[in-house]
Structure 1
């Protein structure tokens, strides 16, 4: 991927549990990403500890009883973390930063971020990369985003 990230643009690398806010201190062709902030989701206990109810049942008048889907507590927590990340981006925009945004996240998290970003933040999006790079070191993220 040959992505040109302008000087002082932000790269947000996140998944359902961690968000890394990076700022490009380098040039568009030679990015030098510096960590501005790291946010991590609070501990998320096992599903068994979060919900003890059995799945609900629906009694149909003309058909047999059917079950409803169980609540996926981890999915809900991941979506809430993505909403919190979008809120943090909104605050960053209000304080005069960033010049541009590059969002790097798995597709499901990108969708939630897109949905919850405000208009000014959406207009600053330069690119979206649908990959999970949160476990990569910063120099590897730089290489993956700028390699040709």
Structure 2
């Protein structure tokens, strides 16, 4: 019996991710969907990253210090690391042979940075594009470079 390469397609942004597989008829379907609870919130609802006000001697004026980081951006990066952790787990469990990741450039970079060698060694392609809202049945034209029709008849 021939062995077919199992491909995992991860479509993500800073708030949502879908782990997509191919069916017997080569159609794509979402196997797992992940959503970030923090990334949906406004930065002000996530808390404050401000150290407070600065005081200058010789003056009674206080000046606010600009935050070091936008908490909303940090939540998106945390979610990207979570997605990478899920991919790493799937690679360790050997549930896929090849990996394609489609995400906006910043999210794609954060995911790739958090992948271990087992997962990153299976990457056959990346696409710096936000396809999260693209339905499964409309994804294939974006992925034809890496997702090839499979002849499951054994020929």
Query: Does the TM-score normalized on the shorter chain lie above 0.5?
Result: yes
After the TM superposition, list the runs of 4 or more consecutive aligned residues in structure 1 that deviate by more than 4 angstroms.
52-60
State whether residues 50 and 66 of structure 2, in contact with CA within 8 Å, keep that contact through their aligned partners in structure 1: no
Alignment partner, residue 43 of structure 2: 47
1:142 CA displacement: 1.2
TM-score normalised to structure 2 length: 0.75
State whether residues 8 and 19 of structure 2, in contact with CA within 8 Å, keep that contact through their aligned partners in structure 1: yes
Unaligned runs of 5+ in 1: 1-5
1:24 CA displacement: 2.2
Count of residue pairs the alignment pairs up = 135
| Backbone CA RMSD of aligned residues | 2.7
Cα shift readout 1:54-97 (whole Å, capped 9, x = no counterpart)? 5656789xxxx894445311100100000000000111112111
TM-score normalised to structure 1 length: 0.78
Unaligned runs of 5+ in 2: 57-62, 146-155
* Max Rg structure: 2
Equivalent in 73, 90, 93 of residue 91 of structure 2: 93
State whether residues 49 and 67 of structure 2, in contact with CA within 8 Å, keep that contact through their aligned partners in structure 1: no
Q: Secondary structure at the match of 1:134?
A: coil
Alignment partner, residue 151 of structure 2: none
Q: Distance in 1 between matches of 2:94 and 2:50?
A: 48
